[in-house]
């Protein structure tokens, strides 16, 4: 499922596009938000397909080696531990994945050089040497190795990131979050699971699905109130001198503090401060932190923040 952090980032990006557009249309922006989130889920399935295609390529290399005019003993008797990975075999048979791939017509067929490069990096990795040397490696080792491929080889690979950027502007900031979804999926699998094993859904639950659209709508609706709060709190700064992205991040934080009673204030503040480290200026984090602290004090004094739910009543 798409994490709350990524959902907040998607709202931030669509808000930026909405406010900078010549003609503002909430309905169109909401469609753009849904489309962007669905593209993240497409990337999730695309990544699950990737390891399958890498293994298909590995098998093709073995077949070529075995059919050489004078094959070596190793050519005729290859180590099959990688190509027979039991977790990947489950991905190949998984009904939910295959149905998604069939409906959305996604494949890596146009990127053979990338598949070749990633396979070469896997072969050269110490993790591969260790994995292939195991004499009694079980299903747990198969899962662990696939996780390492995603986290240590695919995620940091520049060629891979470039290919994703070329395919979709919606994936520019998604990879790390979607890789974490893949790793959660790997962790969920058990050796006894059959083709009906459920993968992660787009949203964790209906609450997350409602959260993302409500956050967008309420931030737009409460824009004037949020700007007045920011303006009165950042008394030494003219709003026009504050980075536009900083204002958007603070708008989102204030809206979430006021309009989402089930989300702890600390969670909201930490989320947007972390987001500001990647989406605004070098000094933004400290500035946003200072302004939000003052706004929190003001809201607390006026008893404006009401939290409900287990452990949250009276929480500020």
> Looking at residue 310, what is its pLDDT?
53
> Looking at residue 311, what is its pLDDT?
46
- Residue 262's CATH number: 1.10.940.10
Q: Tens digits of per-residue pLDDT, 111-148?
A: 999 999 999 999 999 999 999 998 877 999 999 999 99
For residues 182 and 46, state if they share a domain. yes
Q: 66 in a domain, yes or no?
A: yes
For residues 174 and 269, state if they share a domain. no
What residue has token string 């009543």? 313
Q: Which residues contact 90 (CB under 8 A, 6 or more apart)?
A: 189, 193, 195, 197
Q: Look up the pTM and report it.
A: 0.91
DSSP 32-70: HHHHHHHHHHHHHHHHHHHHHHHHHHHHHHHHHHHTSSS
In total, how many domains does the chain have? 2
What is the residue range of 58's domain?
A: 25-188
Q: What is the pLDDT along the chain (316 residues), one digit of tens a residue?
A: 899 999 999 999 999 999 999 888 999 999 999 999 999 999 999 999 999 999 999 999 999 999 989 988 888 989 999 999 999 999 999 999 999 999 999 999 999 999 999 999 999 999 999 999 988 779 999 999 999 999 999 999 999 999 999 999 999 889 999 999 999 999 999 999 999 999 999 999 999 999 999 999 999 999 999 999 998 887 666 666 678 999 999 999 999 999 999 999 999 999 999 999 999 887 888 889 998 999 988 888 888 887 775 545 445 5
CB of 118 closer than 8 Å to CB of 154: yes
For residues 177 and 52, state if they share a domain. yes
Q: Which two tokens stand for residue 243?
A: 């980075």
For residues 29 and 106, state if they share a domain. yes
Q: Tens digits of per-residue pLDDT, 46-55?
A: 999 999 999 9
Instruction: Kindly tell me the sign of the dihedral angle through the C-alpha atoms of 63, 65, 69, 70.
Output: negative
For residues 234 and 173, state if they share a domain. no
């Amino acid at each position: 499922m798409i994490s709350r952090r990524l959902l907040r980032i998607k709202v931030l990006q669509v808000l930026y596009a909405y406010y900078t557009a010549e003609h503002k249309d909430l309905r169109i922006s909401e469609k753009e938000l849904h489309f962007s989130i669905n593209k993240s889920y497409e990337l999730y399935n695309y990544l699950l397909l990737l390891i399958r295609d890498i293994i298909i390529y590995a098998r093709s290399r073995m077949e070529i080696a075995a059919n050489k005019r004078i094959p070596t003993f190793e050519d005729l008797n290859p180590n099959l531990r990688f190509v027979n990975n039991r977790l990947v075999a489950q991905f190949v048979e998984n009904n939910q994945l295959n149905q998604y791939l069939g409906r959305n017509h996604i494949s890596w067929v146009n990127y053979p050089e990338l598949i070749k490069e990633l396979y070469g990096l896997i072969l050269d990795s110490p993790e591969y040497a260790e994995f292939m040397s195991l004499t009694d490696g079980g299903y747990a080792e198969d899962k662990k190795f696939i996780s390492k491929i995603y986290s240590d080889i695919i995620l940091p690979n520049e060629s891979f990131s470039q290919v994703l950027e070329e395919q979709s502007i919606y994936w520019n900031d998604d990879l790390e979050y979607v890789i974490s979804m893949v790793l959660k999926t790997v962790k969920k699998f058990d050796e006894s699971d059959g083709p009906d094993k459920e993968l992660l859904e787009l949203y964790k639950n209906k609450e997350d699905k409602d959260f993302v659209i409500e956050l967008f709508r309420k931030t737009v609706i409460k824009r004037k109130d949020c700007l007045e709060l920011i303006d009165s709190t950042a008394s030494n700064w003219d709003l026009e001198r504050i980075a536009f992205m900083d204002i958007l991040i603070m708008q989102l934080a204030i809206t979430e503090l006021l309009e989402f009673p089930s989300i702890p204030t600390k969670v909201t503040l930490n989320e947007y401060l972390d987001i500001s480290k990647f989406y605004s200026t070098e000094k933004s984090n400290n500035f946003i932190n200072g302004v939000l602290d003052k706004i929190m004090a003001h809201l607390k004094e006026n008893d404006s923040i009401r939290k409900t739910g287990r452990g949250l009543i009276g929480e500020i």
